[in-house]
Amino acid sequence: MNEKKFTNFWAHRISRWSKVSYKAGLAAIAAVLWMALPVKSDAQQSMEDDALFIRKIYDQTLTDCSAYDWLAFLCKKIGGRLAGSPQASAAVEYTGQMLDTLGLDAVWKQPCTVPHWVRGDKERVRVVSSFKLGSFDLRTTTLGNSVPTPEGGLVAEVVEVQSLDEVDRLGEEGVSGKIVFFNRPMNPQEINTFSAYGGAVDQRGSGPSRAAKYGAVGALVRSMTTEIDDHPHTGSLGYSPDFPKIPAMAVSTRDAEKLSDLLADGPVRVFMETNCNSFDPKPSFNVIGEIKGSEHPEQIIVIGGHLDSWETGEGAHDDGAGCVQSMAVLQTLMRLGYKPKRTIRCVLFMNEENGLAGGRAYGAAANEKGEFHMAAIESDRGGFTPRGFTFDADESVFAEKFKKVYTWQPLLEPYGLSLSKGGSGADIGPLKSQKGLLIGFYPDSQRYFDYHHTETDRLEAVNKRELELGAASMTALVYLLDKYGLDR
Amino acid sequence: MNEKKFTNFWAHRISRWSKVSYKAGLAAIAAVLWMALPVKSDAQQSMEDDALFIRKIYDQTLTDCSAYDWLAFLCKKIGGRLAGSPQASAAVEYTGQMLDTLGLDAVWKQPCTVPHWVRGDKERVRVVSSFKLGSFDLRTTTLGNSVPTPEGGLVAEVVEVQSLDEVDRLGEEGVSGKIVFFNRPMNPQEINTFSAYGGAVDQRGSGPSRAAKYGAVGALVRSMTTEIDDHPHTGSLGYSPDFPKIPAMAVSTRDAEKLSDLLADGPVRVFMETNCNSFDPKPSFNVIGEIKGSEHPEQIIVIGGHLDSWETGEGAHDDGAGCVQSMAVLQTLMRLGYKPKRTIRCVLFMNEENGLAGGRAYGAAANEKGEFHMAAIESDRGGFTPRGFTFDADESVFAEKFKKVYTWQPLLEPYGLSLSKGGSGADIGPLKSQKGLLIGFYPDSQRYFDYHHTETDRLEAVNKRELELGAASMTALVYLLDKYGLDR
């Protein structure tokens, strides 16, 4: 059989066996041939097996997968799930029950202690005097972890800045007694929207304390999105212990532009009220399910997302999607009858949004028990069409581990996946010291910040096929990690 | 300056000049270095220029581009634009006026003669007797080019088939006097949804005539989408001249499943009525704008989409998106003060959906005038996140031309674009005999068939950033085609 005949033979065979198109069969074969060229025929056979099994994973996931139904329950029957809330407890119970149905080797809840912040029922920012428009409300929402305004709210003049540095430059004279309005937009020229987010989010995270340093009484922050629309986007702030805590709220991008226009015409005074509150920390849980490894049970591969979400929306893309995709990885492997060599563990982390208590508790327990996490994949960038994975590890081991993983690229490329260096996920970050491989699932980023931390992050924003393709991509990578391992 | 220093120097320089992140600068440099390795320093300089100019194209398009506003007008002020309709005339007028504002060298309308089919105001398919559910309506819409039912509609028993072959097997005995219901789903296991579409659409295109061959009185066709939902999807059928023309309608996927379930329980009779009609052909137009080339005006690079659309929705993704992206290519080049060597021509084709009169007229006129189309890019796969381009050409020239284009891959990769062999677009197909390069813009395909030819293909389904990224991608490729040319 010459090379061409061989290719045709296998393309047809793959196509018949796994019901893929002849073209997809050819692509798989191309991958196999490409990889097989310099190696011996055992390895060739092994790569053919891989191409076929990965095709099976996609076939199974695209036709028979519960991810979307689980997400629908999380979004519509439970809703937003901030740590410490009744909804977060419901999500722990529900996902635990669903994992119980999969026939895994073990399902359990891992305790952690979470902050308990509640938005309250008053959220109002009103321009009370301006040169052109007089009085009107701005579309706003309180930032997570914020302190409340004094009872009855506060009124102050607004000063607009583009950066934390500008607050420093204005100093006490420019800021004291005022509300500082951080209005630097996310840069629309960034192709990856997460880079644009990274370039603007210091205003939300650190802006309020910077303003407080110079005597500001409140902070307003432009919502973190490149869209110009009417939805205020919440998210956590972090107070510096060195300065007074002042209340802080997010403003929709359209109203941020409007406020900025008004400020160009003259002084603007604003009324600001929020009765959010922090209560005593509460007990909560990570939810965990696993298939024990048959050969190296002590080597753990984690897949996970975070179960908590902001309550302004339904936590669909952030991060219900990542949770149900991680659960679906186990479901698919079980349904295909796959017996892993290594332990494959799905972890649904609690409290990523405003504390990271779940991720920290998981990391601490893992270290305490001397567990080794060979690899951990987090899906926390939305349930959009997969584009690949980004890889991170301790510097001393990164090159060697990534080199091995990169040899799998031809097997994943037919599914639109590319592998590159980059961040992983907040919840799995504490595992980095174990010197395993940390992996971030990387879906298309263009729409993510349209929905991020706002009321539009609902089930309707998630496409079933895209969600499933993500789950299948994660399963394929888990399969390769399990089969070939990564040297410790 | 060693290699590392060189890289850092240029990454910072690019980053400062074009306001991209340092990381994107690095990526551009990596591309440049990769390409420059085996070549001389003139070429290296040239590639640096390219990386910078392409970055400029994206910066300009993502911050100052009219594509989305134009699309909003086409969708909301004009609406669905079937060839021969008043809306199609409005679209010709509007896009001509918009091209007129760009300061191009020429804008004109190119005549063509289009079929004039009208859906009518009666569209009903009702199950009139079934074992389980008695009578109820199915969600349906008439297929384009269909003949009407006899006045007052028709009633007949339904026979379900999975393929055209199955109609042959049933023959006259199984089909005569009945309504044939084509119900083979699009294959959800295909990763590229266009492949799934290609594997099912013969039922819509050729099913009705196949059924008529054996005496069927009507045809129902499962809607072309992998979603299970309530939207019937229209689209063209083609009648064979050898058999009677029978009326044909599309059924929503959910109702197709329901009808199939009913048929499993016993005979189902259906009432079917549509008063669609074909009238005399009408004069219409392609809309064309161009920038004349300074060195090789006789070498033409076309970018285009089709201006007509089904009237069930607003023709947003199909193909308002492709039209406004093509217009935006010229707008961006003009705003950047780019003086092309070759003639760059935007063509908005008429009547792609039900006749291809515009594409044919354009091709015929081009051949008649002896014009040479060095390359033609069509955007007709929706306004989603770009993933690359697919290339086609006459077999005798394909390899050589694609080889040249493929050297540009490293310049386009930082923007998520990959180049591969594949189809181009229906409207530019008639240019193939000129032996230029035909190119299809290839955006992410996952959501396309959720909206295709149905009421949900509205402006709201299009994301502004994704649309603009597509326009920028097309502009970048046009720039490279213009600068380097492709040997005739």
Which of A24, A58, A195 is facing B23, going by the closest CB pair? A195
Write down the pLDDT at residue A487: 81
From CA B104, how far away is CA B112, in angstroms rounded?
23
Q: Looking at this predicted complex, what is its ipTM? A: 0.88
A190 vs B19: CB contact, 8 Å cut-off?
no
CA distance to partner chain B, nearest, from residue A131 (Å): 29
B446, A385: Cβ pair inside 8 Å?
yes
Proportion of chain A above pLDDT 70, given as a percent: 92
A200 pLDDT higher than 50: yes
Of B190, B199, B416, the CB nearest to A191: B416
Q: A116 pLDDT exceeds 80?
A: yes
Token pair of A198, please?
A: 């990274």
Identify the CATH number of the domain defined by range A120-275: 3.50.30.30
Q: Chain B residues contacting A, CB < 8 Å?
A: 19-21, 23-24, 58-59, 62-63, 187-191, 193, 195, 199, 226-227, 385, 387, 414-416, 444, 446-447, 450, 463-466, 469
Pairs across A and B, CB distance < 8 A: 77
The residues, ordered by sequence, that sit 6+ positions from A368 with a Cβ below 8 Å of its Cβ are none
Q: Cβ of B199 and A21 within 8 Å?
A: yes
- Measured in angstroms, the CA of A416 and the nearest CA of chain B are apart by 9
Instruction: Give per-residue pLDDT as tens, A417-454.
Output: 999 999 999 999 999 999 999 999 999 999 999 999 99
Nearest CA in chain B to A444: B385
CA distance B391 to B372: 18
CA–CA separation, A16 vs A31, rounded Å? 18
Of A379, A346, A384, A381, residue with least CA distance to A467? A384
How many angstroms separate the CA atoms of B265 and B288, rounded? Answer: 56
Q: How far is A334 from chain B (nearest CA, A)?
A: 19
CB-CB neighbours of A295 under 10 Å: 12
Which chain A positions have a beta carbon within 8 Å of B466's beta carbon?
446-447
Mutate to test the interface with A, among B14, B18, B21, B228 (most CBs of A within 10 A): B21
Percent above pLDDT 70 for chain B: 92
Q: What would the two tokens of residue B313 be?
A: 């929705």
Are A407 and A35 contacting, i.e. CB atoms less than 8 angstroms apart? yes
For residue A248, the tally of other CB atoms under 10 A from its CB is 30
Question: What is the residue whose two structure tokens read 């269909």?
Answer: B146
**A interface toward B at CB cutoff 8 Å?**
19-21, 23-24, 58-59, 62-63, 187-191, 193, 195, 199, 226-227, 385, 387, 414-416, 444, 446-447, 450, 463-466, 469
Smallest Cα–Cα separation from B25: which of B10, B37, B46, B35? Answer: B10
Q: What tens digit of pLDDT does each residue of A264-289 get?
A: 999 999 999 999 999 999 999 999 99
Pick from B58, B416, B446: CB nearest A189: B58
Q: Identify which of A41, A472, A16 has the alpha carbon closest to the alpha carbon of residue A24.
A: A16
Question: How does pLDDT run across B143-200, given as a tens digit for each residue?
Answer: 999 999 999 999 999 999 999 999 999 999 999 999 999 999 999 999 999 999 999 9
Per-residue pLDDT reduced to its tens digit, B434-448: 999 999 999 999 999
Residue of B nearest to A225 (CA): B465
Q: What is the pTM of this model?
A: 0.90
Residue spans per domain, chain B: 3-38, 56-115+281-484, 120-275
- pLDDT band of A338, cuts 50, 70, 90: very high
Q: What is the pLDDT of residue B437?
A: 98
Residues in B closer than 8 angstroms to A24, CB to CB, are: 190-191, 195
- E strands, B23-166, in order: 106-118, 123-129, 136-138, 140-142, 154-161
Tens of pLDDT, residue by residue over B205-235, are 999 999 999 999 999 999 999 999 999 999 9
Structure token digits, residue B215: 């005496």
Question: What pLDDT score does A35 carry?
Answer: 57
What pLDDT band is residue A1 in, cutting at 50, 70 and 90? very low
Q: What Cα–Cα distance (Å) separates residue B397 from each residue in A186, B374, B440, B476? A: 45, 12, 17, 23
Inter-chain CB proximity B191 and A58 less than 8 Å:
yes
Q: Where are the extended beta strands (E) located within B227-276?
A: 248-251, 269-274
Chain B: residue whose CA lies nearest to A196: B21
Residue A113's beta-bridge partner residues?
A: A283
| Residue contact B450–A463, C-beta within 8 A | yes
pLDDT for residue B19: 44
Contact between A190 and B21 using a beta-carbon 8 Å cutoff: yes
Between CA A116 and CA A282 the distance in angstroms is 6
Q: Residue B11: pLDDT above 60?
A: no
What's the pLDDT at B6? Answer: 40
B12 pLDDT above the threshold of 50: no
pLDDT tens column, B235-291: 999 999 999 999 999 999 999 999 999 999 999 999 999 999 999 999 999 999 999
C-beta neighbour count of B13 within 10 angstroms: 14
A19, A20, A469 member nearest B446 (Cβ): A469
**Domain A56-115+280-484 -> CATH class:** alpha beta
- Cβ pair A62:B21 closer than 8 A: no
Kindly tell me the sign of the dihedral angle through the C-alpha atoms of A442, A443, A447, A451: negative
Instruction: Spell out the alpha helix ranges (H) of B133-190.
Output: 164-175
Question: Would you state the pLDDT for residue B475?
Answer: 98
pLDDT, chain A, mean: 93
What is the predicted pLDDT for the residue at A23?
Answer: 59
Residue of B nearest to A24 (CA): B190
- To test the contact with chain B by mutation, choose from A21, A191, A317, A462 the residue with the greatest count of B C-beta atoms within 10 A, namely A191
Q: Which of A243, A310, A230, A270 is nearest to A149 (CA)?
A: A270
Contact in structure between A433 and A367 (CB atoms under 8 Å)? yes
CA–CA gap between residue B373 and residue B251 (Å, rounded) = 41
For residue B53, give the nearest of B342, B469, B476, B339 by alpha carbon. Answer: B476
Dihedral sign, Cα of residue B324, residue B325, residue B326, residue B331: positive
The span from the CA of A325 to the CA of A333, in Å, is 12
Residue B381 CA to residue B193 CA, distance in Å, equals: 11
In this complex, do B463 and A447 lie within 8 Å of one another by their Cβ atoms? yes
Give Cα separations from A39 to A48, A50, A242, A412 (angstroms).
Answer: 13, 15, 61, 19
Supply A297's token pair.
């049970």
Beta strand pairing status for A296-306 and A342-349? parallel
Query: In the predicted model, what is the mean pLDDT of chain B?
Result: 93
Residue from A189, A390, A420, A451 to probe the interface with B (highest B Cβ count within 10 Å): A189
- What pLDDT is attached to residue B132? 87
Asked if A207 and A219 count as a contact pair (C-beta separation under 8 A), the reply is yes
Write out chain A residues lying below 8 Å of B465, CB-based: 188, 193, 226, 446-447
The neighbouring-strand residues paired with A342 are: A296
The reply to whether residue B189 touches residue A465, judged by beta carbons under 8 angstroms, is: no
Query: Which stretches within B266-356 are classed as H helix?
Result: 321-335
The answer to whether B189 contacts A19, with C-beta atoms less than 8 Å apart, is yes
Q: Write out chain A residues lying below 8 Å of B187, CB-based.
A: 19, 21
**Interchain contact, B195 vs A23, CB within 8 Å:** yes
Residue B464 Cα, gap to closest chain A Cα (Å): 8
At residue A13, the pLDDT reads: 43
Residue A12: enclosing H or E segment and its boundaries? Answer: helix A3-18
- Nearest Cα neighbor of B288 from B375, B366, B355 is B366
Angle of helix B164-175 relative to helix B202-213, nearest 10 degrees, comes to: 30
Which of B19, B20, B466 is the closest to A446 by Cβ?
B466
Q: How far apart are CA A455 and CA B436, in angstroms?
A: 49
Placement of tokens 């390769």 in the chain = A480
Does residue A349 have a pLDDT over 70?
yes
Residue B39 predicted with pLDDT over 60: no
A28 pLDDT band, cuts 50/70/90, is low
Phi-psi region of B150 (alpha: psi -120 to 50; beta: other; left: phi over 0): beta
Q: Which residue has the tokens 């709201």?
A: B460
Q: Give CA–CA dist A144/B164, Å, rounded.
A: 59
Note whether B330 and B85 are within 8 A (CB).
no
Protein fold of B56-115+281-484: Aminopeptidase (3.40.630)
Q: How far A415 CA sits from the closest chain B CA (Å)?
A: 7
Report the SS3 class of residue B319.
Answer: helix
Chain A closest-CA separation from residue B113 CA (Å)? 38
